[in-house]
C-alpha cells in the first residue's frame, strides 16, 4: 500500500497532470495507486519530489488496526 493518491490529491493534481510532470502514462499512475505496479527507484524519487514528500512517507506501509469480536 502507498500514499500516492493521497498526496496527489493534496497537491490538487489529476492522474494525468501528475503523469505529465514525471513523464509516464496516466495508466502508470493508476496502477501505482492501486498497488498493481511496482515503480522503479527513479520513478519513486520523481513521485516523491513532485508530490512534495519523501520516499518513506510515500511508500511506507499504512498500518490498519484489526478488531476481533
| Euclidean distance between the first and the last CA atom of the chain, given in angstroms as a whole number | 26
Asked if the structure places residue 19 within a domain, the reply is yes
Asked if the structure places residue 26 within a domain, the reply is yes
The CB-based long-range contact list for 51-57 (8 Å cut-off, 24+ gap) reads: 51/4, 51/7, 51/8, 51/10, 51/11, 51/18, 52/7, 52/11, 53/3, 53/7, 57/3
CATH number assigned to the domain comprising residue 51? 1.10.260.40
Number of structural domains (the chain) is: 1
pTM for this structure? 0.84
Give the chain's length.
69
- So what's the pLDDT on residue 34? 96
By residue range, what is the domain housing residue 32?
A: 4-56
Each residue's pLDDT expressed in tens, for the chain with a length of 69 residues = 899 999 999 999 999 999 999 999 999 999 999 999 999 999 999 999 999 999 999 998 665 555 555
Please name the residue that has the C-alpha cell 522503479: 40
Asked if the structure places residue 67 within a domain, the reply is no
Amino acid at each position: 500500500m502507498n500514499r500516492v493518491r493521497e498526496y496527489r490529491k493534496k497537491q490538487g493534481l489529476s492522474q494525468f497532470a501528475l503523469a505529465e510532470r514525471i513523464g509516464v502514462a496516466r495508466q502508470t499512475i493508476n496502477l501505482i495507486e492501486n498497488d498493481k505496479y511496482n515503480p522503479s527507484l527513479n520513478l519513486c524519487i520523481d513521485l516523491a519530489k513532485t508530490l512534495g514528500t519523501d520516499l518513506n512517507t510515500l511508500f511506507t506501509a499504512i498500518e490498519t488496526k484489526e478488531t476481533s469480536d
